[in-house]
């Protein structure tokens, strides 16, 4: 966890420095408090995935940028070797493919532990998510309705509107989540 916090800390500092933003400006842009951003930069906090999404959205960068450095020429990735709990919530994350402008997407294997529920704020305009359930049962909040997804179910949806994920079962739910960024947004990253 310490290594993840250090990477997150240095990434956030670098983004702020590149943009010339104060902590106060970063807080305005991300919707995350100045105090929390300071804790992240000092490596004193393990923010939730929801908080990381807010930070990523405020900086207009992909979520995967905060989880691991981009890799080059990687052909084989094994989720069991990558799976981690980068935040204090009940979600395990295996960053299968970090965002690269060449492809315009990032892909995760996500595990929702029993009882997990998260509401996601809208992402940048044009971003779409593709969810494919690998194990268990989960629900997605789409257009204001919770939709049950079981093993083998797949959905693509516009993620620039409120949406959510939850696992009401007693077993973990595992799914792939491919997040595609439109070409205009990809050039900005």
Entry pTM? 0.72
For the stretch 99-126, pLDDT in tens is: 888 888 999 999 999 999 989 888 889 9
CATH topology (fold) of 79-188:
Jelly Rolls (2.60.120)
2-66: which CATH architecture?
Orthogonal Bundle (1.10)
| pLDDT confidence tier of residue 186, bands split at 50, 70 and 90 | very low
Where are the domains positioned within the chain? 2-66, 79-188
Question: 3-state SS of the chain: helix, strand, coil percent to 5?
Answer: 30, 30, 35
Q: How many CA atoms lie within 13 A of 164 on its CB side?
A: 14
Tens-place pLDDT, residues 43-85: 888 787 778 888 888 888 887 887 776 666 656 665 665 555 5
């Amino acid at each position: 966890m310490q290594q993840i916090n250090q990477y997150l800390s240095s990434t956030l500092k670098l983004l702020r420095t590149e943009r010339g933003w104060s902590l106060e400006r970063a807080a305005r842009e991300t919707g995350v408090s100045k105090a929390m951003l300071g804790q992240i930069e000092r490596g004193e906090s393990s923010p939730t995935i929801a908080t990381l999404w807010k930070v990523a959205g405020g900086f207009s960068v992909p979520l995967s940028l905060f989880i691991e450095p981009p890799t080059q020429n990687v052909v084989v990735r094994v989720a069991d070797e990558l799976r981690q709990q980068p935040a204090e919530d009940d979600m395990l994350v295996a960053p299968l493919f970090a965002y690269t402008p060449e492809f315009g997407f990032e892909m995760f294997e996500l595990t929702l532990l029993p009882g997990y529920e998260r509401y996601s704020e809208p992402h940048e305009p044009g971003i779409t998510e593709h969810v494919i359930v690998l194990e268990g049962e989960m629900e997605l909040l789409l257009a204001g309705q919770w939709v049950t997804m079981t093993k083998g179910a797949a959905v693509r949806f516009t993620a620039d509107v409120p949406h959510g994920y939850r696992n009401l079962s007693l077993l973990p739910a595992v799914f792939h989540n491919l997040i595609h960024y439109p070409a205009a947004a990809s050039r900005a990253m």
